[in-house]
């Protein structure tokens, strides 16, 4: 029997392809899951992408999926397809570590809402992927789990905080990984690992709360726009228990991704939200992407974002971001990493009026920034202004300045965080190949609730300039 996860001329099979294989009997879920587990056993020691693997549970779920196929009838859209869940989000029956030695690691009694939606869609959970402690920084390194490595170059990081999922998908361990994004943590590792990663519109994906005042949301890392769109259909259809939710789409996202959009006005932008210098390679990448979009018939113009000022943005973001881990159930503060101890203390030292004022100022400034999308349909940027950092480099100098790692993380996120602040849909795609080097993505940011437009444009680019056949060369895959 051939390996059901084996690569072909077009690359590794996608989640939608595997779902079809299972539903039609071309392959069984058990075969696919066994292949996935074997690849994890063989490759994960070099990558350190998984911090928890659940082989027995995965096999039982795969057998149950195959039994459901034999029964016939309507099947969940991703029945039997393996997926991994990022270890910052509760999974029923699994301990939640959040990459920290300071928390209690309790076994979760329920799934997080987005995780529950993925389970309801038929996915088989094979394990939990690594993140930095509390998801704070733009690399996937922690005292508890060590460093996760980029399968394109093991000396470099896959980015963060969803770097474990990104490394696993990029190395072909599985077709899709769950991820989350509070300042770029889906799109940044997608960029550095040659994947597709989308931050959906604020409130579109179910969550227990609007974390970080709505900056944060969940999604997936995949190898194709079609997979991302089809899984977003699943997530967007699930119950959304929060106070606010955007309108549901009139047309499924998968259909939008399969159809070329009408002629769009694309604005190219290189403005960072944090103090950062855009690397010449990143700037050149955006210019090349603009040329490709123009070749497809779109109008491309230069477009600034009014009111975007790093000196204004950074101090207000720091007030909000410091609270991100303040509610974590820490049982040993001394075991928390230095940066997160610093952030937690900063949160405790911030009075309520200062916090509320920062949020109000974000909201008021947002009204000015949204005007950019009155002039264009989509904003085009490099995903990352800097190249993938070397493993360990983010932490240099933290003994003298505990804020130093966050400043480097902010630099990495300086082109992605705007979409989090404004609640806009944004996707990173590996449009242009980087010969002999690490991948670097380009980002498309749509207007309010224009997830379908972003996916349609990304899908058009993918058809015109395919990328799924590319695979990392740092490992024998």
8 A C-beta contact, residue 147 and residue 141: yes
Active site residues: 86, 161, 185
Residue 92: which residues within 8 A CB-CB, separation 6 or more? Answer: 108, 109, 110, 111
Which residue matches tokens 């103090």? 275
3-class DSSP assignment, residue 120: helix
Residues in the chain: 477
Q: Which of 193, 185, 101 is closest to 149 using CA atoms? A: 193
Which residue matches tokens 């965080």? 417
8 A C-beta contact, residue 25 and residue 68: no
Task: Count CB-CB contacts under 10 A for residue 447.
Answer: 19
Q: How far apart (Å, rounded) are the C-alpha atoms in residues 246 and 252?
A: 15
Residue 352: which residues within 8 A CB-CB, separation 6 or more? Answer: none
Q: What is the DSSP letter of 474?
A: S
CA 306 to chain centre: 27
Concatenate the DSSP letters of all residues of 122-176 into one string. Answer: TPEEEEEE--SGGG-SSS-EETTTEE--BTTBTTB---SSSHHHHHHHHTTS-S-
The encoded tokens of residue 248 equal: 């549901």
């Amino acid at each position: 029997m051939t390996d059901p996860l084996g690569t072909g001329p077009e690359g590794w099979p996608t989640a939608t392809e595997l779902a079809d294989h299972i539903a039609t009997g071309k392959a069984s879920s058990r075969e696919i899951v066994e292949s996935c587990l074997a690849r994890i056993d063989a490759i994960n020691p070099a990558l350190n992408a998984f911090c928890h693997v659940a082989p027995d549970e995965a096999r039982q779920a795969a057998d149950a999926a195959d039994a459901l196929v034999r029964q016939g009838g309507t099947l969940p859209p991703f029945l039997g397809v393996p997926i991994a869940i990022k270890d910052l989000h509760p999974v029923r029956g699994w301990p939640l570590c959040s990459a920290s030695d300071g928390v209690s690691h309790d076994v979760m009694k329920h799934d997080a809402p987005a995780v529950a939606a993925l389970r309801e869609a038929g996915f088989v959970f094979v394990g939990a992927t690594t993140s930095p402690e509390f998801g704070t920084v733009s690399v996937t390194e922690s005292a508890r789990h060590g460093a996760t490595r980029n399968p394109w170059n093991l000396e470099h990081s896959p980015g963060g905080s969803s770097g474990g999922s990104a490394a696993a998908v990029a190395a072909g361990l599985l077709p899709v990984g769950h991820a989350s994004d509070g300042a770029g943590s889906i799109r940044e590792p997608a960029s550095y690992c040659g994947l597709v990663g989308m931050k959906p519109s604020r409130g579109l994906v179910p969550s227990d709360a609007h974390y970080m005042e709505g900056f944060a949301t969940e999604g997936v890392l995949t190898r194709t726009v079609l997979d991302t769109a089809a899984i977003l259909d699943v997530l967007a259809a699930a119950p959304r228990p929060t106070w606010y939710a955007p309108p549901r789409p009139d047309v499924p996202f998968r259909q939008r991704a399969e159809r070329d959009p009408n002629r769009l006005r694309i604005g190219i932008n290189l403005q960072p939200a944090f103090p950062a210098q855009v690397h010449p390679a990143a700037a050149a990448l955006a210019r090349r992407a603009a040329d490709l979009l123009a070749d497809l018939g779109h109008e491309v113009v230069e477009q600034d974002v009014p009111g975007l000022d790093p000196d204004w943005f950074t101090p207000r973001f720091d007030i909000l971001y410091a609270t991100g881990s303040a509610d974590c159930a820490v049982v040993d503060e001394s075991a928390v990493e230095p940066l997160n101890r610093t952030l937690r203390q900063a949160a405790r030292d911030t009075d309520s009026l200062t916090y509320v004022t920062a949020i109000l100022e974000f909201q008021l400034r947002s009204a000015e920034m949204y005007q950019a999308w009155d002039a264009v349909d989509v904003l085009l940027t490099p995903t990352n202004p800097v190249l993938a950092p070397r493993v360990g480099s983010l932490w240099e100098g933290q003994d003298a300045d505990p804020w130093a790692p966050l400043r480097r993380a902010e630099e990495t996120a300086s082109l992605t965080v705007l979409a989090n602040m404004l609640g806009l849909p944004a996707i990173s795609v590996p449009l242009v190949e980087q010969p002999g080097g690490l991948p670097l993505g380009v980002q498309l940011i749509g207007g309010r609730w224009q997830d379908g437009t972003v996916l349609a444009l990304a899908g058009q680019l993918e058809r015109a300039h395919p990328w799924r056949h590319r695979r990392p060369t740092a490992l024998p895959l």
